[in-house]
């Protein structure tokens, strides 16, 4: 969609450990990752630049992942339709239906199953 | 895949059935708790959706009886018009795996059902793949040149036990804001993990140590939790792969 050769993935995750881990794993899947550490900066970055996919942690500072997802879904045209994969340790034990209600396309529970995450990334970045 | 829907309202039953069937899932329905429970025992479905407000037997009573059905391990989800946070806690506390609020949106219903169907499958077959940067066999081979196989085995076991201790120490030290000792433990993990070939873990510990040294400790609590979760998964994969 945006560039030939690789896919652009925006990762909203406040833990640098997980950011790094995702970078390493998705490097092999031909993805170029951009990091955002809180919910507001995800929205800001996404408004200024096009991406193919967003991976969004639920528990984020400033603005949580569910609110950020809802806000992205309100954007007009293609911008509002970007695939969003939610990830979370779900410490608050929220019902999974709430993530989909907010507009996420998929949800993967932490600790992350890499095979599952990779197959979802492939599914949503396929031409 | 088979899903059982227990709901007294015929319109709801039909609606939920048609949405789930679109996902290529076989759907069975029951119009009350009693027939739902006997159908669950007969079919052994992969997931069950239960309406909360039903005459005679309500959703909670129905759940209690479903839990007593032998060999039934399916995730049981509530469908309900209640949606305040206290209700949510009540549903989960009573033993519902999840709940869907009315009015039920088709995409929310199908995504949630798909998630739980996938999730209950996954419990049995977690990933046993060990990536090279996660664990490098060459490091173990290097040790085997100098230590006998039993000794090497013990070393890895000891490392795992020690890491688990380190993780709880890190959590305690973080609550008392003892960043000096946190750095020292992270430093040890970095070295030990590196020597045994767990290069990714080593790098993670190293990065966390650097951040902590620089005073960047806002996310430390979460970072420690993530590191802990990572080590648990790592050892699970390591053991299933090599033992």
* CA A49 to each of CA A2, A10, A41, B191: distance values in angstroms, whole numbers, following the listed order: 10, 10, 12, 40
Lowest-pLDDT choice from B66-75, B126-135, B147-156, B215-224: B126-135
Q: Which residue is it, tokens 């929205």? A: A43
Chain B residue nearest residue A28, CA to CA: B131
- Count of pairs with CB atoms under 8 A, one residue in A, one in B: 83
Pick from A17, A97, A113: CB nearest B230: A17
**Running DSSP on this structure, what letter comes out for residue A113?**
-
Tell if the CB–CB gap between A95 and B119 is shorter than 8 Å: no
Res A1: pLDDT: 52
Give the architecture (CATH level 2) of B137-242.
Up-down Bundle (1.20)
* Residue B176 reports pLDDT greater than 90: yes
Dist CA B67 CA B76 (whole Å): 9
The fold of A7-125 is: Rossmann fold (3.40.50)
Residues of chain A whose beta carbon is less than 8 angstroms from a beta carbon of chain B are 14-18, 20-21, 24-25, 59, 89, 93-97, 100-101, 105-107, 109-116
Can you spell out the DSSP letters for B97-127? SEEEESSPPHHHHHHHHHHHHHHHHHTTS--
CA distance B66 to chain A (A): 20
Dist CA B138 CA B197 (whole Å): 7
pLDDT in tens, A42-85: 999 999 999 999 999 998 889 999 999 999 999 999 999 999 99
* CATH code, B2-122: 3.40.50.2300
Domain boundaries, chain B: 2-122, 137-242
Chain A residue nearest residue B99, CA to CA: A95
CA distance A34 to chain B (A): 18
pLDDT in tens, B12-52: 999 999 999 999 999 999 999 999 999 999 999 999 999 99
């Amino acid at each position: 969609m945006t560039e030939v050769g690789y896919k652009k993935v925006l990762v909203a995750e406040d833990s640098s450990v997980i950011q790094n881990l995702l970078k390493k794993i998705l490097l092999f899947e031909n993805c170029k990752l951009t990091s955002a550490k809180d919910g507001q900066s995800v929205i800001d970055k996404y408004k200024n630049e096009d991406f193919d996919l967003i991976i969004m942690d639920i528990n984020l500072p400033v603005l949580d992942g569910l609110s950020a997802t809802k806000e992205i879904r309100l954007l007009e045209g293609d911008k509002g339709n970007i695939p969003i994969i939610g990830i979370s340790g779900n410490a608050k034990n929220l019902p999974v239906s709430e993530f989909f209600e907010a507009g996420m396309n998929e949800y993967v529970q932490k600790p992350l199953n890499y095979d599952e995450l990779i197959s979802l990334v492939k599914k949503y970045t396929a031409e | 895949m088979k899903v059982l829907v227990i709901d007294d309202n015929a319109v709801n039953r039909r609606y939920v059935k048609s949405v789930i069937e679109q996902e290529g899932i076989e759907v069975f329905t029951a119009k009350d708790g009693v027939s739902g429970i006997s159908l669950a025992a007969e079919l052994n479905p992969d997931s069950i959706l239960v309406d909360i407000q039903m005459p005679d037997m309500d959703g909670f009573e129905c759940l209690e009886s479903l839990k007593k059905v032998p060999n039934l391990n399916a995730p049981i989800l509530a469908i309900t018009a209640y949606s305040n946070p206290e209700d949510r806690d009540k549903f989960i506390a009573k033993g519902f795996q999840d709940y869907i609020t009315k009015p039920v949106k088709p995409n929310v219903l199908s995504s949630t059902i798909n998630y739980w169907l996938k999730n209950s499958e996954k419990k049995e077959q977690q990933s046993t793949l060990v990536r090279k940067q996660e664990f490098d066999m060459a490091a173990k081979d290097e040790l085997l040149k100098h230590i006998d196989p039993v000794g090497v085995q013990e070393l890895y076991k000891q490392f795992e036990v020690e890491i688990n201790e380190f993780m709880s120490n890190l959590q305690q030290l973080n609550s008392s804001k003892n960043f000096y000792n946190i750095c020292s433990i992270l430093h040890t993990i970095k070295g030990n993990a590196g020597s045994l070939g767990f290069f990714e873990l080593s790098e993670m510990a190293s990065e966390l140590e650097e951040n902590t040294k620089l005073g960047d400790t806002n996310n430390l609590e979460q970072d420690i939790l993530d590191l802990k979760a990572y080590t648990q998964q790592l050892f699970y994969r390591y053991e299933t792969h090599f033992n």
